[in-house]
Structure 1
Amino acid sequence: MTERLETQILIPGTGGVAQAAALLRAGGLVSFPTETVYGLGADAANDRAVARVFEAKGRPHFNPLIAHVPDVEAVEQIALLGGVARDLAQAFWPGPMTLVLPIREGAELSRLVSAGLPTVAVRIPAHPVAQKLLKAVGRPVVAPSANPSGRISPTTAQHVVSNLGDRIEAVLDGGPCEVGIESTIIGFDPKRTLLRPGGLPREAIEAALGSPLATRDETADINAPGQMTSHYAPDARVRLDVKTPRPGERLLGFGPVDAEWNLSPGGDLVEAAANLFRMLHEMDRAGDAPIAVSPIPDTGLGRAINDRLHRAAAPR
């Protein structure tokens, strides 16, 4: 039987970062904030710690993890960063972008991180608390979203405690996440490909590249996080692109619609992304009646929002 833990709440300004770093170096699991969502951190070189991440989340071992580091120098210790990937790194890191890169020979990474693939997903988060923690740890930290696999991602420390509070050592509470939706993932084998839409809009990446990104074939094997068909799901069933809810449905609105939960009454996609997981958590706590979701434009951050909602609505 898995040991039940009493999760500590650590505060960054009162020694919490140093405590969190010590726990991670000792093989513990610590959730911490990034600008996207709260991650479930573990030492990426520690096989047992990484295995505990999969166990705590109930995550399939064929689903790779993202290694988080504080700067490009740390990226180059574990991965080969060159060409177009380096250009994107210079343009968008630190920030909500993950690059899938060839693993450097001799990199100190658990094989579990890459799910046995020859590539590793890497990100440099911009959140100041994440930056301080990663520098204090001094080694790569895996940090998938700190929630049970397939369920709603956490954007506050309380979301983490509610879902994983007896499975991890600590949560470093840095307040609500600003972006509120996971990072955009880009791969390069063989073409520059959008593997997962996220907090950095596709349009911004394509503008920096001067050319369009290829789109991942959804029937292909999983080669990056966030590609499971059913994911980000609340307890309630979800129906999309709804203009008029059915009797008994609760509306998750967008734009000028009358709804108790409205992602952005003004139709702002940045605001909607920041509110998405928080409102799904609130609706989950409020009951299990079906959720109907207003149509959301499939541009900019709308692509990432719709990606999460389509996976939340998928058969389970």
Structure 2
Amino acid sequence: MNDLTTLRLAADPDGIARAAAILRAGGLVAMPTETVYGLAADATNGQAVARIFAAKGRPRFNPLIVHLPDAAAAQAFVHWSDAAETLARRFWPGPLTLVLPLREGTALSPLVTADLPSLALRVPAHPVAHQLLQEFAGPVAAPSANPSGRISPTTADHVAASLSGRIEAILDAGPCGVGVESTIVGLTGTPTLLRPGGLAREEIESALGLSLADHAGPITAPGQLSSHYAPGASVRLDAAEKRPDEKLLGFGPVPGADLNLSPAGDLVEAAANLFAMLHAIDDGETPIAVSPVPETGLGLAINDRLRRAAAPRD
């Protein structure tokens, strides 16, 4: 039901305090992070977490990421490990999510984990997110603030366009800097890349001194659905040129591109622009062609999002 008045809160002390009060009351707040805007709720409040799934139209088998202000807070919910300590010291706060064995007896809603025996945790680097987490002083579940399966939001306007009337507030801190969701690493056994994201695989492997395994099997973390991040129009990948009936999302020195993720071929710039440009180029009808993007560094995350955006839809 779209019957709420969605507030637009400034990212100042008053706005952050209001957002924290809304969370305590069981409400939903779209909060900025360095990756994308997240749809935040009190992770210990089952009704509030259920509202995340309802607002997004998200399937209940898809677990959520819990956001916390620091690693010490995270350790109260999971069985910590040497690998987790290494990665947390190196990359938190930042665009990295760790999946670890869930401790028994936590106050978290079972909806957060989708009844899995593991929990996804992140300490975001965005200063406004950090201030909100400190003000709220509890675990916050926060998937991307958009309808399930659609393009992720990197501005408050993206959130408002799709979720106004379904959530209590949007905490507006401008555009997100990284532009793609966090990298997810599973640490319930052999360290495994569960989802490529805003931290390059190579950096994680260097910190651990080993190669990450590749995920195979059932869903164990967010972002693993085959069709995800999709615009309204169809998407064609690895396009050498634009067809007459298409719009072209370019990468590198591509002539005739309607929009270009990075004319200079910079993968960091491309990642930051990806979702915003998909929002901008999508009219819901005209097919979108996308230039090839290298499968290295952040290109792994960009191509993961593009392949899921182009996948057949139910």
TM-score strictly above 0.5? yes
Secondary structure, counterpart of 1:309 in structure 2: helix
Is 1:177–2:176 an aligned residue pair?
yes
Q: Which runs of 5+ in 1 are unaligned?
A: none
The question of whether the paired residues in 1 share the 8 Å contact of 2:231 and 2:278 is answered with yes
SS of alignment partner, residue 307 of structure 2: helix
Is 1:12 the counterpart of 2:11? The answer is: yes
Partner of residue 254 from structure 1, selected from 226, 251, 266: 251
Alignment correspondent of 1:212? 211
Distance 1:39 1:268 in 2: 26
User: Which residue does the alignment assign to 1:140?
Assistant: 139
Check the 8 A contact 2:226/2:311 in 1, yes or no.
yes
- Matching of residues 59-78 of structure 1 within 5 Å: 59-78=58-77
Aligned position for 1:31: 30
2:52 alignment partner in structure 1: 53
In structure 2, the partner of 1:91 is 90
Cα offset, 1:14, TM superposition: 5.3
Pair 1:233-2:226 in alignment: no
1:296 aligns with 2:262: no
CA distances 1:151-206 after superposition (whole Å, capped 9, x unpaired) = 00000000000000110000000110000000000002321100000000000001
Distance 1:85 1:297 in 2: 29
- Seen in structure 2, the aligned counterparts of structure 1 residues 14 and 125 have a Cα distance that, compared at 3 Å, is closer
Per-residue CA shift, 1:61-112, capped at 9, x if unaligned? 0000000000011101111222111111111000000000111222110000
- Corresponding residue of 1:101: 100
Name segments (4+ residues, structure 1) moved above 3 Å: none
Q: Is the 8 A contact 2:229 2:308 kept in 1?
A: yes
Residues 141 and 237 of structure 1, relative CA distance in 2, 3 Å threshold: same
Task: Tell me if structure 1 keeps the 8 A contact 2:2–2:164.
Answer: no
Cα distance in structure 2, aligned partners of 1:54 and 1:116: 15
**AA at the equivalent of 1:253:** G
Q: Distance in 2 between matches of 1:30 and 1:193?
A: 31
The alignment covers a number of residue pairs equal to 312
Equivalent residues in 2 for 1:274-313, closer than 5 Å? 274-284=272-282, 286=283, 288-313=285-310
Kindly provide the CA deviation profile for residues 251-277 of structure 1, in whole angstroms up to 9, marking residues without a partner as x. 000000121200000000000000000
Kindly provide the amino acid, as one letter, of the partner of residue 44 in structure 1: A
- Alpha-carbon distance in 1 for matches of 2:272, 2:140: 24
Task: Tell me the TM-score normalized by structure 1.
Answer: 0.97
2:311 counterpart residue number: 314
Aligned residue identity for 1:261: L
1:134, distance to aligned residue in structure 2 (A): 0.3
The amino acid across from 2:59 in the alignment is P
Instruction: Summarize the Cα distance change of 1:151–1:3 in structure 2 as closer, same or farther, 3 Å threshold.
Output: closer
> How many Å separate the matches in 2 of 1:214 and 1:82?
17
Q: Where in structure 2 are there 5+ consecutive unaligned residues?
A: none
User: Is the contact made by 2:42 and 2:140 (CA closer than 8 Å) also made in structure 1?
Assistant: yes
Secondary structure at the aligned position of 1:161 is classed as helix
What amino acid maps onto 1:275 in structure 2?
A: N
For 1:189 and 1:287, locate their aligned partners in 2 and report how far apart those are by CA, in whole Å: 40
C-alpha distance in 1 between matches for 2:11 and 2:188: 39
- Secondary structure class of the residue paired with 1:226: coil
Q: Whole-Å Cα distance in 1 between the matches of residues 13 and 208 of structure 2?
A: 42
SS of structure 1 residue aligned to 2:80: coil
- The root-mean-square deviation of aligned C-alpha atoms, in Å, is 0.9
State the distance in 2 between where 1:111 and 1:240 align: 38
Of all paired residues, the percent bearing the same amino acid is 64
**SS at the partner of 1:112?**
helix
Structure 2 CA distance for aligned equivalents of residues 119 and 189 of structure 1: 7
TM-score by structure 2 length? 0.98
| Equivalent in the alignment of 1:121 | 120
